[in-house]
């Protein structure tokens, strides 16, 4: 397979999976493993995440602009930003101190990814079928304690295959939110979390970054942006009607296929 086609496929997969609870990192690492695609210093894999991040900014630009301009004199805007900071803080601390272990051990073990995909899928199925009466249906008005607790759940996504959005959504559901607001808050939490992760990745890999394949990076970036834009626009309505079961079954299927592939290629 040519590098151009691999770049297109990886960009599409990044955009399709970044904001749904199936683990974009797990999909990207497994695909890269089986396609034999790996850029120097993971430059390609790092930069195309910015395409998905740009999709969130595009869809929620008006709200983000309101938060940015009104927080000095709007108590509700300040409260939401504080809550977002509280949710981001646990992952920032753990990610900083455990970075080397995460990147050199967990990210290099495809079997861990496959198992995490399957286990996370089973958990999502159980949560989706659990009878619940949500206490909070507005992501802007969660208690500050709830923001922080959701942030603790997000830390589970340090294990590739768990899914950042899946961990935050599952945490929200367990803590009493409804499906729609849990998914929407996972979008907003992606902004500081992904932004900081990409910036730190670029910094840590600054000595080995290689932007010589700018064409491949551009293809992946645009593909990730376009597909992530479509996902963000339809996801909230989809989960309100269908729940998370389709994503859970997808996770389980990908995990099982991944294990089968590793067994056939001697990767277990």
Q: Where are the alpha helices (DSSP H) in the chain?
A: 3-17, 24-35, 43-47, 49-59, 61-70, 75-104, 110-129, 144-154, 164-174, 179-204, 214-242, 245-265
Nearest CA to 26 out of 40, 47, 10, 41 is that of 10
Would you state the structure tokens that stand for residue 52, as one six-digit string?
């998905």
In whole angstroms, give the CA distance from residue 252 to residue 185: 25
191 neighbors 42 (Cβ within 8 angstroms): no
pLDDT mean over 132-142:
88
The DSSP code for 136 is: B
Instruction: Say what the pLDDT of residue 268 is.
Output: 66
Would you state the structure tokens that stand for residue 193, as one six-digit string?
């979390």
**Is the torsion defined by CA of 23, 24, 30, 34 positive or negative?**
positive
pLDDT digits (tens, 9 = 90+) for 190-202: 999 989 988 888 8
Would you state the structure tokens that stand for residue 201, as one six-digit string?
């990745």
pLDDT at 166 over 70: yes
Question: Cβ atoms within 10 A of the Cβ of 93, count?
Answer: 12
pLDDT mean over 26-38:
78
In whole angstroms, give the CA distance from residue 181 to residue 132: 14
Chain centroid to Cα 89, Å, comes to: 16
| CB-count burial class (<10 Å; 0-12, 13-18, 19+) for 96 | exposed
pLDDT bucket at 122, cuts 50 / 70 / 90: very high
Nearest CA to 206 out of 215, 198, 194, 218 is that of 198
pLDDT at 91 over 90: yes
pLDDT mean over 151-155:
94
pLDDT mean over 135-144:
92
In whole angstroms, give the CA distance from residue 188 to residue 138: 13
Instruction: Say what the pLDDT of residue 48 is.
Output: 87
157 neighbors 164 (Cβ within 8 angstroms): yes
Q: Which phi and psi angles does 177 have, rounded to 5°?
A: -90, 165
Nearest CA to 52 out of 198, 158, 162 is that of 198
pLDDT bucket at 90, cuts 50 / 70 / 90: very high
Burial 217-232 (b: 16+ CB within 10 A, else e): bebbbebbbebbbebb
Would you state the structure tokens that stand for residue 133, as one six-digit string?
């009466």
For the chain, the average pLDDT equals 87
Would you state the structure tokens that stand for residue 167, as one six-digit string?
């961990």
pLDDT at 41 over 60: no
Would you state the structure tokens that stand for residue 135, as one six-digit string?
């206490």
pLDDT mean over 72-79:
90
């Amino acid at each position: 397979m040519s590098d151009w086609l691999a770049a297109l496929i990886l960009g599409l997969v990044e955009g399709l999976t970044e904001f749904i609870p199936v683990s974009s990192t797990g999909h990207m690492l497994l695909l890269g493993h089986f396609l034999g695609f790996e850029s120097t210093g993971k430059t390609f894999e790092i930069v195309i995440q910015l395409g998905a991040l740009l999709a969130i900014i595009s869809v929620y630009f008006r709200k983000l602009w309101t938060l940015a301009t009104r927080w000095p004199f709007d108590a509700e805007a300040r409260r939401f930003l504080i809550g977002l900071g509280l949710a981001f803080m646990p992952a920032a601390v753990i990610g900083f101190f455990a970075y080397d272990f995460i990147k050199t051990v967990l990210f290099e073990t495809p079997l861990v990814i496959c198992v995490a995909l399957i286990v996370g899928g089973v958990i999502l199925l159980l949560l989706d079928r659990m009878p619940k009466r949500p206490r909070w249906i507005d992501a802007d008005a969660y208690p500050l304690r709830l923001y922080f607790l959701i942030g603790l759940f997000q830390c589970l996504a340090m294990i590739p295959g768990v899914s950042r959005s899946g961990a935050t959504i599952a945490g929200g559901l367990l803590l009493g939110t409804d499906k729609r607001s849990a998914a929407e808050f996972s979008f907003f939490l992606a902004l500081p979390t992904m932004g900081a992760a990409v910036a730190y990745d670029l910094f840590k890999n600054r000595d080995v970054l290689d932007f010589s394949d700018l064409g491949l990076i551009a293809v992946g970036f645009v593909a990730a942006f376009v597909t992530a834009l479509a996902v963000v626009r339809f996801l909230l309505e989809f989960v309100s009607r269908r729940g998370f079961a389709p994503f859970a079954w997808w996770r389980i299927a990908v995990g099982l296929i991944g294990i089968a592939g590793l067994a056939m290629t001697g990767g277990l």
